[in-house]
Amino acid sequence: MSSRPITEDDLNGLLDRTLDPARHAEVLAYLDAHPDVAQRLALHSEQADMLRAAFAPVIEEPVPTELDLSRMIEERRRPRQAPRWAMAAAAVLLLSVGAAGGWSLRGMTPPPSEGIQALAREAAASYATYAPDQVRPVEIRASDRDVLAAWTAKRVGRPIGIPDLTAAGYRLMGGRVVPTEHGPAALFMYDDDRGTRLVMLARPMKAERDMPMSSHAEGELNGFAWADNGLGYSLVGGVASDRLHPLADEVRRQIRSEA
C-alpha cells in the first residue's frame, strides 16, 4: 500500500474511473475505513447519474447550424474589410484614449509578482477559498499530523513546521497543499471552535528570502507575512490586527525554535 494520503482528486478519479488499479484499490480501502466519506461520494455519484440521465436527450440532438464548429471556423477565415471612415474614426479614438490613459495611469504599477506582498496576496486568496468550507476545509486532518508534515515537506520541497496555537485558543484542524503563482505551498488551518478560523500559508521564496514581519489587509481580512531562511510565511484571519499580531509572533517563534 502507498503512504500517500487519499485526496479529493483521488475521490474524483474514482468517480471518473481514471485511477490506475493500485490507486483504485487504495481508495476503496480508504472508503471502507471511512463510511462518512463513502456516503458523501455515493451521493455525488448518484447526482452525477441523475444529471447524465436528465441531459441525455439533449446530448443526442444534432448541433445547431449556427454552432457548427467547421462553419464558425470558415466564417472567421473570411477577410472582413471595415469601411474607411470607420477605420479613421477608430484610429482617432485609439490615439485619444492612449494619450488620456497614459496620463491618468502615470505612477500606477501592477501588483507585485514576487516577494512578501505576493505571498500575502496568495495567503488571502487561499483563506477565501478554503476557510469558509464547512465540509472539507482540509485534506489531511490534525489527527494525522505526522502524515501532514511529511506530505507538505515532499510537495513543497522543504520541511515546514506546524505551529501549535492551543495556548492561544486555536486548535489545529489540519492542512493541505495548495497551488500558487510560485509553486505549491503548505496551508495549515486553525479554529477557535467559535467560528473563527486562521490560515498559515508557507512556501519557498525566490526573492526576499529573509524579511521582517509586515502587516497586510484585504477588506475584513488581516494578515502578517515574513520570510526566514528562504521560506515565506503568512498568517491570515478575520480577526483584528492587534489580536492577530501576537499570534503571528508566536508562530514565528515556534518555527525559528525548530530550525
pLDDT in tens, 115-162: 889 999 999 999 999 999 888 889 899 999 999 999 999 999 999 999
Q: Is 39 helix (H, G, I), strand (E, B) or coil?
A: helix
Judge whether residue 197 has pLDDT over 70. yes
* Cα distance between residue 154 and residue 96, in whole Å: 54
Task: Name the pTM for this structure.
Answer: 0.59
CB atoms within 10 A of CB 40: 15
pLDDT above 70 as % of the chain: 71
Q: Measure the CA–CA gap between 142 and 169, rounded to whole angstroms.
A: 15
pLDDT tens by residue, 42-91: 777 766 666 666 655 655 666 666 556 566 666 666 666 555 655 656 66
CB contact at 8 A, 158 and 192: no
CB 119 within 8 A of CB 201: yes
DSSP-derived secondary structure letter, 142: G
**Domains recognised in the chain with CATH numbers:** 8-60 (no CATH), 85-258 (3.30.200.100)
Query: Which residues are bridge partners to 191 per DSSP?
Result: 171, 197
Cell numbers linked to 126: 487561499
Task: Report CA torsion sign: 63, 67, 72, 73.
Answer: negative
Per-residue pLDDT tens over the stretch 89-126: 666 555 555 555 554 444 444 455 668 899 999 999 99
Output the nine-digit C-alpha cell for 109.
Answer: 504599477
Q: What is the pLDDT of residues 25-48, one digit of tens each?
A: 888 888 888 888 887 777 777 666
What is the mean pLDDT of the segment spanning 172-195? 92
